[in-house]
Amino acid sequence: MDDLLLVEDDPGQARLAQRTLERAGYSLEWVATAEQCISRVRERVPNMVLLDRGLPDGDGLDVLDAIRQRSARICVVMLTGADDLTVVVEAMRRGAWDYVLKRPDLSHLSDLPLVLDRNRARLRLLDEHDRLNQAVRQSEQRYRELFDQASDLIVICDADGLVQEVNQAFHDLTGYAAEEVSRRALAEFVLPTSPTRADTLRERSVCEGEGMTGELHLRTRTGQEVWLDMKTRPLVSPNGPPGFQGIGRDITERRRMEQMKADFLAMVTHDMKNPVSVITGYSEILLNDVCPSAVCREMLLSIDGSARGL
């Protein structure tokens, strides 16, 4: 609801203005002096003020300055009886939103609802603008929280593959500070042994506009090697893809376990090959070069079959 304050020292003018505005659906509070106006604004800030230029205890422009010190969002409409453009210009320069020129025939009263309607619409636009800005700030804050608190590594690169932004997980994993990675090529952090090249990620996202999944082998700031399961997606804009975003999960421990498994299997295979070969070799000799009994031959066949199966 509009909180409208009328500052007018002439009671007759005030009653006429109040009657006109009430017919137009406005309700207002009336004060007659500059001191009362300033006190009212300090006590409760109104949305709109109809401010007479000539007041018994002060200049309306000075009251306007006091209102502006309190808030820049109060709609102040100056009421002036001086048909002087310089007064209007000065009032607008000092923060008035609009003005109404008082006329002796009181025809200006019919202008008041139109002027207030126009400025009320402006207030609503400003309120909507504030709500949209607040929503954008909240959205950006949520994105920043998700970005920084994500457990997975996140890196944003431009179309040339230069790092634009990384999250806290990137710093924690690699040890590089933000200034050490900004505007550096992602490829600088990828080892030659990496199954997936950084340029491949960039080309797929930027040139082909598609995401991809691959494994990156990186070296940290301290020289340690880490493995990432990296998934990328293009960052699309009306002017084309400006770059790509990569989300990487640390799979270093998984790769270490896989390597341990491979090493173990290779060791077991190597260590078992010689004794198994000896068993099958002697079994073959005994079966072919010696004439064992039927019972012994059955035993040798069982030994030979088990060894070959092993």
Q: What is the pLDDT of residues 25-81, one digit of tens each?
A: 998 999 999 999 999 999 999 999 999 988 999 899 999 999 999 888 899 999 987
The predicted structure's pLDDT at residue 67:
94
Q: What percent of the chain has pLDDT over 90?
A: 51
Contact 77, 97 (CB under 8 A): yes
Alpha carbon distances (Å) from 137 to 31, 128, 134, 146 = 39, 14, 5, 14
Is the pLDDT score of 83 beyond 80? Answer: no
Give the Cα separation of 45 and 75 in Å (integer).
Answer: 11
For residue 298, give both structure tokens.
């059955």
Minimal CA–CA distance to 203: which of 241, 229, 239?
A: 241
For residue 115, give both structure tokens.
């002027």
How sure is the predictor about 147, in pLDDT bands with cuts at 50, 70 and 90?
confident
Token look-up 């109404």 returns: 100
Contact 192, 185 (CB under 8 A): no
For residue 271, give both structure tokens.
């260590």
* Residue environment code for 201-218, b if the CB has 16+ CB neighbours within 10 A, otherwise e: bbebbbeeeebbebebbb
pLDDT digits (tens, 9 = 90+) for 249-293: 999 999 889 889 989 998 888 888 888 888 988 888 888 877 778
pLDDT digits (tens, 9 = 90+) for 165-215: 999 999 999 999 888 998 999 999 999 999 999 889 888 888 888 888 999
Give the Cα separation of 248 and 163 in Å (integer).
Answer: 14
Mean pLDDT over 102-106 rounds to 88
Is the pLDDT score of 240 beyond 60? Answer: no
For residue 202, give both structure tokens.
């960039």
Q: What single string gives the DSSP state of each residue in 95-128?
A: T--EEEE--TTSGGGGHHHHHHHHHHHHHHHHHH
How sure is the predictor about 19, in pLDDT bands with cuts at 50, 70 and 90?
very high
Is the pLDDT score of 153 beyond 60? Answer: yes
Contact 217, 193 (CB under 8 A): yes
Mean pLDDT over 99-103 rounds to 89
Q: Give the sign of the dihedral formed by CA 264, CA 267, CA 272, CA 275.
A: negative
How sure is the predictor about 239, in pLDDT bands with cuts at 50, 70 and 90?
low
Residue partners of 235: CB distance under 8 A and separation at least 6: 156, 205, 241, 242, 243, 244, 245
Estimate to the nearest angstrom the gap between the alpha carbon of 132 and the chain centroid. 15
Give the Cα separation of 75 and 50 in Å (integer).
Answer: 9
Minimal CA–CA distance to 55: which of 12, 10, 121, 5?
A: 10
The predicted structure's pLDDT at residue 139:
84
How sure is the predictor about 82, in pLDDT bands with cuts at 50, 70 and 90?
low
Helix axes 60-70, 85-93, angle to 10 degrees: 20
Lowest model confidence (mean pLDDT) among 32-36, 115-119, 121-125, 205-209: 205-209
Alpha carbon distances (Å) from 304 to 70, 261, 269, 309 = 101, 29, 18, 9
Estimate to the nearest angstrom the gap between the alpha carbon of 52 and the chain centroid. 47
Minimal CA–CA distance to 242: which of 198, 211, 216, 207?
A: 207
The predicted structure's pLDDT at residue 87:
83
